[in-house]
Structure 1
Amino acid sequence: MADHTNQTQLAETEPTPLDMPSLARVLFGHAAFQYLHAACELGLVRMLAEHGELDKHEIAKRLGLQERANDILLLGCTSLGLLVRADGGYRLADLLTTLIGSGEWDRIEATVAFEGHIVYEGQTDFTESLRTNSNAGLRRIRGSGHNLYQRLSENPSLEQVFYTYMKSWSELANGHLVEHVTPLGSGRLLDCGGGNAVNAIALAGADPDLRVTVIEIPQSKEIAEREIREAGLADRISVIGGDMYSEEFPEGYDTILFAHQLVIWTLEENTELLRKAYRALPSGGRVVVFNSMSNDEGDGPVVAALDSVYFAALPEEGGMIYSWRQHEECLGAAGFTDVRRIPCHGWTPHGIIVASKP
């Protein structure tokens, strides 16, 4: 039986009533993002962070923009609250100033680049993806691979954008993973689809006795190994190149981690991956699911809904930000018991589920 004692994901607990201004923000949401994207790519945010406040003419001069173009940029960024008018000039909104001071803005910028260069065009095919129940937007990414990750390996510049984003997105929340998984006392952990090893590095850095093996597709294995070497953890983290679906998981691990993986595949595919984990684990072994979660009522949080557009349109023919209960049903079907929810409070809808093999 799952522990449902604390299901709160974010401060947002239910949808707010719709009014015309909020409908307009949805209607023109694509344009709102373009202002944020332009502010990052043109260097407006970093420039104001450095100088504090500048008038419109100085902004235009420093950005190399003509007057009309500069007026458009400032109109949008100010209307959306990214900038604030002050004494005839412009400064950053307090939130942006705080994010830059804490270093969190680096992660926001990485997310903006990912959305702008990889996700945005593919989401054009969101309706077609729903109509055909397939990732129709993948056709927008150049390459011959059958999924996004294989195609990114054929586009080095996009691949760099993707892994910078994935590292940033993980870092936004993997403090929760370290907090709740490290006390489990795992001696050997298998990180399935561990990407550039960002979570493996965080966990190994927090627990000097932990040994981690990352399974990642061959195209990305070298990236993970480089990150591990740079972190000075090559003696405790290793990488296996392979496809999670092509063969059984190796044995000898007491914890198997699926971080940001079970949002990519269908529920049936997730159940099969969890069955493979069940077969590989010893009695008493644990599986950990770490990714964004939607609530059981199916009405939020809004970031989970917005992120599901990407998973519907691009990576694979399956996936979305599933609810806690859907993950628990997959775990139960795979044979796991003692299922426990661990909400991760913050603006990203991350959560952790831990379950055990009897």
Structure 2
Amino acid sequence: MSAHADLTLDDLTPILFGHAAFQCLNAGCELGLFPLLQREPHLSREEVRDRLGLADRAVDILLLGTTSLRLTRRVDGRYRNAPVIDQLFRDGQWEIFANVVAFEAHIVYEGQADFVASLRDNTNVGLRRIRGTGRDLYHRFAENPHLERVFYRYMRSWSELANPALLKEVDFGGVKKVLDVGGGDGVNAIALAQAHPHLEVTVLEIPATGPITRRRVADSGLSERITVHECDMFRDPFPTGADCVLFSHQLVIWDPERNVELLRRAHAALPPGGQVVIFSSISDDDGDGPLMAALDSVYFAALPAEGGMIYAWRQYEEWLRAAGFARSRRVPCASWTPHGILVATR
């Protein structure tokens, strides 16, 4: 039984006007309100207006929105960031958070307008709002350089936010080589190689992303231990030689049938005793949360590919068994994001 309290009419307001609430958050990021108040707290309305170069009406709308949402505070007629925003700056996570906001604003937001159609058709109708001819979002980035930059900044930030849990909870000490499936610009591979000097990592990515990954790896000085293997993960066999296959934020994209196929390919590529690690946002088995998992599933339903959502623990375990993995274990992660880890052995 769900432990969630019943909604009140007041509780419906941020749901009904959720689109507007996000716009206030995004405006505070893009117009520089939050960094301004971090540098200069306790500014008057007029000082905020002048620093941001806004008209009177515009600054009134912005501050009414951010203050009503408790993103900013007004004390004695002067404005400052809310404590949670201050905490992001103090912890060095503001840029990460701002990159996530930009991803939601520039890539996710428009596509989610097709959420209802996506549910009716059981496919990602919102992809039509991204210019290009690629079969999914990732194959269209080459035709949308701005969106490509926004996306990889976001994925790097999201991974940097989450990867400490991966490094803490999974023992890579006995692993020699990791195959990072769909490893993006190499953020996971770089973190693993930096944390474990004995480790070699191969990043498996589509040809359009390969050059981006190689540049990031070269910039990190880890080209001798991190290589890039370009292929189509659904059509080409996985390279052999790794004793660990990592799926980080990858299986949320695809439907169950394709996830089983990917896990079977991992099983075939691993030696006996090799392991697969799934690291992702995960929803509860009861289907009643966490809230971030529920809301993030709207994106996966509407936009990136023909399938995907924030799946539950039990679903991953079913797929691992179907792919031939005999045993697995759950590793919940303590975080405000709904991350979890499953480790299975061949």
Report the TM-score when normalising by structure 1.
Answer: 0.95
Provide the rounded CA distance (Å) in 2 between the counterparts of 1:191 and 1:91. Answer: 42
Report if aligned partners of 2:281, 2:310 keep a CA contact under 8 Å in 1. yes
1:34 alignment counterpart: 23
Residue of structure 2 in register with 1:222 after alignment: 211
Note the alpha carbon deviations across 1:279-301, whole angstroms, 9 max, x for none: 11111110000100000000000
Rounded Cα–Cα distance in structure 2 between residues aligned with 1:125 and 1:208: 46
What is the aligned residue count?
345
Indicate how the Cα distance of structure 1 residues 339 and 184 shifts in structure 2: closer, same or farther if over 3 A, else same: farther
Partner amino acid, structure 2, of 1:355: A
What is the match of residue 301 of structure 1? 290
- Taking the aligned partners of 1:232 and 1:14, their CA distance within structure 2 comes to 49
Letter in 2 for 1:299: D
Other-structure match for 1:322? 311
CA distance in 1 between partners of 2:225 and 2:79 (Å): 49
The partner residue of 2:196 within 194, 200, 207 is 207
- Equivalents in 2 of 1:132, 1:247: separation in Å? 29
Alignment partner for residue 343 of structure 1, among 304, 308, 332?
A: 332
**1:259, 1:314 → 2: CA distance?**
19
Give 1:184 shift: 5.0
Give, in whole Å, the separation in 2 of the partners of 1:350 and 1:14.
20
How big is each residue's C-alpha offset from its partner over 1:72-92, in whole Å with a ceiling of 9 and x where there is no partner?
Answer: 111010000001011211000
Residue 181 of structure 1 and its aligned partner are, at CA, apart by 2.6
Q: Is the 8 A contact 1:14 1:300 kept in 2?
A: no
Does the aligned pair in 2 maintain the 1:182–1:207 contact within 8 Å? no
On the 8 A contact 1:14/1:299 being kept in 2, the answer is no
Aligned to 2:61: 72
Q: CA RMSD of the aligned region, Å?
A: 1.0
Q: Which of 185, 192, 217 matches 2:181?
A: 192
1:219 is displaced (CA, Å) by 0.5
CA shift in 2, pair 1:86/1:163, >3 Å: same
Tell whether 2:50 aligns with 1:61.
yes
Q: What SS is found at the alignment partner of 1:342?
A: strand
For the 8 Å contact 1:340–1:355, the answer to whether it is kept is yes
Unaligned runs of 5+ in 1: 1-12
Matches within 5 A, 1:1-358: 14-357=3-346
Gap change, CA 1:98 and 1:274, over 3 Å in 2: same
Corresponding letter in the other structure for 2:181: C
Deviations 1:20-70 (A, max 9, x none): 122111111010000000000001001110011210011111111111111
Tell me the distance in 1 between the aligned counterparts of 2:165 and 2:216: 21
Report runs of 4+ in structure 1 exceeding 6 Å deviation.
none
Tell me the CA shift for residue 217 of structure 1.
0.6
- Equivalent AA in structure 2 for residue 349 of structure 1: P
Aligned 8 A contact 2:172 2:196 in 1: no
Q: How many angstroms apart in 2 are the aligned matches of 1:22 and 1:161?
A: 32
One-letter amino acid of the counterpart of residue 348, structure 1:
T
Structure 2 unaligned blocks of 5 or more: none
Letter in 1 for 2:132: G
User: Could you tell me which amino acid in structure 1 is paired with residue 273 of structure 2?
Assistant: G
Deviation at 1:17, TM superposition (A): 2.2
CA distance in 1 between counterparts of 2:177 and 2:168 reads 17
What is the rounded CA distance, in whole Å, between the counterparts of 1:206 and 1:164 in structure 2?
21
Cα distance between partner residues in 2 of 1:192 and 1:315: 17
Question: What SS does the aligned partner of 2:73 have?
Answer: strand
SS across alignment from 2:328: strand
Identity of aligned residues (%): 57
Q: Partners of 1:267 and 1:214 in 2: how far apart?
A: 23
Is contact 1:182–1:206 with CA below 8 Å preserved after alignment?
no
Greater relative contact order structure (CA < 8 Å, 6+ sep): 1
Q: Which amino acid aligns with 1:213?
A: T
Distance 1:221 1:303 in 2: 30
* Cα displacement string for residues 212-269 of structure 1 (whole angstroms, at most 9, x for unaligned residues): 0000011111111111111111110000111101111111111001111100001111
Deviations 1:305-352 (A, max 9, x none): 000000000000000000000000000011102200001111100110
Q: Is the 8 A contact 1:294 1:322 kept in 2?
A: yes
